[in-house]
Amino acid sequence: MSIEIIKSRSLHSAKSFGPIVILWSEHHGEPKITRIVLSTPKHSANELLAKYYPHTIKDSCSVIDRVAERMEAFLAGGGIRFSLESVRMDLCKDFQRRVLVEEHSIPRGRVSSYHRIAQRVGNPRAARAVGTALAKNPFPIIIPCHRVVRSDGTLGGYYGGVKMKKTLLEMEGIEFNLKGKIISQFFY
């Protein structure tokens, strides 16, 4: 039996989203991300790290540094597309994994709805379950769950807060009408 040592690497976003923490460990001899912790409107990622993951070791490596640099570029508005190779998808249950893979396929500058994702993963009546799977997305930014909105074009929730979700979508070129709904031409 081996003991998994969880390590953390912090980064700061250019858009004042607050600190973000990457939790990672060695898995089969390679560094793999186990969770990304975003700051929320009430708590910084560093506070959440101290509260929920107090025994992590602050450390990094070239693979995690590259991911962190790409995340910083993405949060600064860059058109970065992330690979799923660096994340531990095996830690997710089957339904969540299917939802996250489908979510990952939504291109920059487009959105989908919880209902459409449910249809695409073969369970058209599971829109709420899709919402739950995305609310528990352990890899936000890498798997851009901010790109899923309600069927009526309103934003829905987001772990980093609705303001962050809207800002990320606007950075990707998504436009809103006067009522704050996403214009339908942006749906994928």
Find the domain containing 174 and state its range: 91-186
Do 45 and 104 lie in one domain? The reply is no
CATH code of the domain covering residue 181: 1.10.10.10
Whether the pLDDT of residue 128 is over 70: the answer is: yes
Cα–chain-centroid distance for residue 170?
16
Three-state DSSP at 48 gives helix
Confidence class of residue 28 from pLDDT cuts 50, 70 and 90?
very high
Say how far apart CA 45 and CA 11 lie, in whole Å. Answer: 10
Q: Token pair of 184, please?
A: 């339908």
Catalytic residue among 49, 141, 145, 164: 145
At 51, phi and psi to the nearest 5?
A: -75, -50
β-sheet with 30-38: strand ranges across = 30-38, 19-27, 7-12, 57-58
Q: Token pair of 149, please?
A: 């909105």
Q: What is the pLDDT of residues 33-42, one digit of tens each?
A: 999 999 999 9
Look up 145 and say whether it is catalytic: yes
Ramachandran area for residue 26 (φ above 0: left; ψ -120 to 50: alpha; else beta): beta
Do 54 and 98 lie in one domain? The reply is no
Q: What is the pLDDT of residues 151-167, one digit of tens each?
A: 999 999 898 899 999 99
Mean pLDDT of 13-18: 73
The enclosing H or E element of 38 equals strand 30-38
Do 110 and 169 lie in one domain? The reply is yes
Of 75, 104, 127, which residue sits at a domain end?
Answer: 75
Of 75, 103, 135, which residue sits at a domain end?
Answer: 75
| pTM of the full structure | 0.90
Say how far apart CA 106 and CA 108 lie, in whole Å. Answer: 7
Q: How many domains does one find in the chain?
A: 2
Which of 108, 8, 126, 125 is closest to 58 using CA atoms?
8
Report if residue 81 sits inside a domain.
Answer: no
